Chain A
């Protein structure tokens, strides 16, 4: 046994040097004094919680899990993981009905799809919003994502033969949003990949990545999803396929949250799972080409989602957008939009959520782009609602600009 050759601790909490950079970068702490901040909630709190779970602080629920603290940490402490793990381990309150509903994106999507036009019309009504606010504490000022009448899965299934004809193949983890709310993004991806000579396959029955469950006190259910998805991804990977995604949060969840928070081993699939922007960028680097419309012109402001910053992959989206001849590109400053999935829907978080996003909204208004580009669906909802500017995934902009 090598004594003290190296030291270990849960999520590296002992590596904290108390430099407090995480605290300076936390978007919540600046707007919500009830939140103890990442250093207190993370490595500092952990020592007390190890003494007695009684020291767990319920104010940890105000953490957005944006991971900006982890990006900032120069010592490699997984601050956000510490906080989320503590919530999973010590928060004994069962999730509220509202939180269960918000967390079950898969289930709610399946339920709503057949009645999409009615559901969309109803959720848009002021009276519905008031009721949801009063009964469930879902803030009435929120706009709900629309449901699509037809699923993306059905659309791609009908084209499976045609896709199988391409010389190269990838599998696509579309996620709940593309499947139930916005199949167009999936169609856009298929268009771009096909242009590169790559056919797109569905996974064998993917489930929601589980991030909303993790955030809403349903870690056990999330772990079931995680194990299912790792198995499903494993099947594709064992056939030699890469798995691409268009949602930064789903990707981060499956790559990092599965092993760190849910203790689900994803080592067999982790390196094969990547954002489609990275996959496309690498193809182009290797010599593939895309032909763009000569008449395309768009002023694009790009917002890097926090989870994409954590992955370190924002650069791929940025490079691809800059590559389009007609794009006038602006890189927005690194800021959190404040939405963070289901967080911003909750009545108690609405004010904080909007205050966090304010600097981003102001910059967007100052830039006055034709469209904001962003790889995250919940950032999209927040920015569209708060600024009025349309938001598109970089993949959709690529598809639109293709000849």
Chain B
């Protein structure tokens, strides 16, 4: 059999693509996932990392709210190592209408979300960073989710079920016979190699870039790019998600994620051409800090680590090409039915929270078309790494008395941490001191998780995500990568690119200690290491 033939080709290595590949692979299909860059480089990796309870949508979009709470409960079961069950608060400030609280709670109850009005005093005890002026508080089952980890775990599971993944490979065109898509032309950006892959079905799961892929296939999918900017603070200010109890607005969610917390977002319509290069503006930064400080006043005096922006893959409904009626719900397009183009499906819209459901819907359609009769099992089967509920349990099992770095590894890798049980003492040495990532953990990622650049490595291990932003870990990790890939020259360029990318996120908030540290980093790399 031709090694380039598959049952289904999935384009896009975000969470939707990864989830779809996992679902397809678990139902026995031969799958190939193609991603032009790395995993989670689009909207997947550029959001709050909020494990929505659905409460935010309860009043205005009951359907999304119900989807969210269902998926929320499923993810807690299947993705334990990607999730932090923090719970969340919806707070009412003196300037907000306290009357909205009851409407909100009623809507939550209707959607099946456990929302509980609590005394503002209790809210302050539960979450000491919360604005002490609050006049109302509702507790909901929000949490936080690491989207990179979730995406990588889905892809890994797909591979464990025989799936193949081609990263840094772009789809340049479609192989079309009459009214049927038979496969794709691709270009590997790292090797320059051009390859054709064949499958009876191709799934377009490229988020906002799905519009471009659809164009290549000869059909039109109207996307409405909306930029959202966010700020990362250098440490956790809060341990519960804090939301405003009012109509969803700008910068009204503060999410604790791993060792940091994230405030967001804004919402600005941008032209499609700008999707590849979104920058955070000074006005957005000011807005985020001002509004953020209303949720947790200490944010006004907390060091900011980075600013970043993502583009939401909003889709205009088919009957409304003007864009007035924009849906945040899941959109699954069967182009055979819609455009008369066989072998091509688009799955888009939706949210990080509902990726599994999107994958299920898309896979159901794929299976129908391929006449495969297999039920979806992704809601019951834990992702690789999530077989244990808590990282305490994992760390205790793998190591007798775990060090902080080993505990941190267990919190990132879940049960897969057993793979880094160190063969020799060097494996315990730290590469990233801020996030406590060891040589062993980096090598485990290089070995098993399709890492070709430092940025790839960052998404899988948190290397370079701490306060030093690559100052110390980047050159050490580059050493390991150069060794693994046997090429020093390529790694030198990779290191420079990585530092440039880190600076891009520092730049919009370049003041105070973050600026000092960036200057120091520059000094080390330019004047000490001669880069």
Residues of A within 8 A of B (CB): 1-4, 6-9, 13-20, 36, 39-40, 44-48, 50-52, 54-57, 59, 75
Contact = CB atoms under 8 A, between A and B. Distances in A.
Interface in B404-451: 404, 407-408, 411, 430, 433-434, 436
A48 B408 contact: yes
Interface stretch (B35-43, B63-71, B295-303): B295-303
Given A50-B259, A57-B403, A14 B300 contact: no
A16 B286 CA distance: 25
Interface of B: 234-236, 256, 258-259, 286, 289-290, 293, 297-298, 300-304, 391-392, 403-404, 407-408, 411, 430, 433-434, 436, 466-468, 471-472, 511-513, 516-517, 520
A18 B234 CA distance: 14
A51 B407 contact: no
Contacts of B434: 18, 44, 47
B301 A16 contact: no
A45 B300 CA distance: 23
Contacts of A19: 520
Given A14-B235, A36-B403, A47-B467, 4 more contacts: A1-B297, A4-B289, A4-B512, A13-B235
Contacts of B472: 18, 20
Nearest to A60: B404
Q: Which among B234, B235, B297, B298 has the greatest number of chain A C-beta atoms within 10 A?
A: B235
A20 B403 CA distance: 20
Nearest to A18: B468
A14 B513 contact: yes
Contact of A18 (B258, B392, B471): B471
A6 B512 CA distance: 7
Q: Which of A7, A15, A52, A54 has the most CB of B within 10 A?
A: A7
A4 B235 contact: no
A56 B404 CA distance: 7
Given A6-B512, A14-B234, A55-B407, A44 B301 contact: no
Given A1-B293, A54-B392, A44 B436 contact: yes
A44 B300 contact: no
Contact of A44 (B304, B407, B433, B512): B433
7 contacts: A1-B300, A3-B293, A9-B303, A15-B513, A52-B411, A54-B392, A57-B404
A6 B301 contact: yes
B474 to A, nearest CB: 12
Given A54-B392, A55-B404, A4 B259 contact: no
Contacts of A56: 404
Shortest 9 CB-CB contacts between residues of A and residues of B? A14-B303, A18-B468, A47-B259, A7-B303, A57-B404, A50-B236, A8-B301, A3-B300, A47-B235
A7 B404 contact: no
Contacts of A48: 259, 404, 408, 436
B433 A18 contact: yes
Contacts of A46: 235
Contact of A7 (B256, B466, B512, B517): B512
Contact of B304 (A4, A39, A51): A4
Given A8-B301, A51-B259, A54-B392, A3 B404 contact: no
A57 B293 CA distance: 32
B517 A4 contact: no
B301 A4 contact: yes
Among A13, A20, A40, A59, chain B packs the most CB atoms within 10 A around the CB of A40
A12 to B, nearest CB: 9
A333 to B, nearest CB: 27
Contacts of A14: 234-235, 302-303, 467, 513
Given A4-B512, A6-B512, A47-B259, A36 B289 contact: no
Contacts of B301: 4, 6-8
Contacts of A75: 516
Nearest to B301: A8
Nearest to B258: A51
B289 A3 contact: yes
A3 B474 CA distance: 31
B185 to A, nearest CB: 45
A7 B408 CA distance: 27
Contact of A17 (B298, B411, B516): B516
B408 A55 contact: yes
A44 B298 CA distance: 20
Nearest to A54: B392
Nearest to A39: B433
B520 A2 contact: no
A16 B517 CA distance: 8
A4 B520 contact: no
B131 to A, nearest CB: 12
A341 to B, nearest CB: 26
Contacts of B511: 4
A3 B291 CA distance: 11
Contacts of A57: 403-404
A249 to B, nearest CB: 29
B467 A36 contact: no
Contacts of A9: 235, 302-303
B436 A51 contact: no
A47 B512 contact: no
A51 B236 contact: yes
A345 B456 CA distance: 50
Contacts of A51: 236, 256, 258-259
Contacts of B403: 36, 57, 59
A16 B234 CA distance: 11
Contacts of B430: 40
Nearest to A41: B404
Nearest to B524: A19
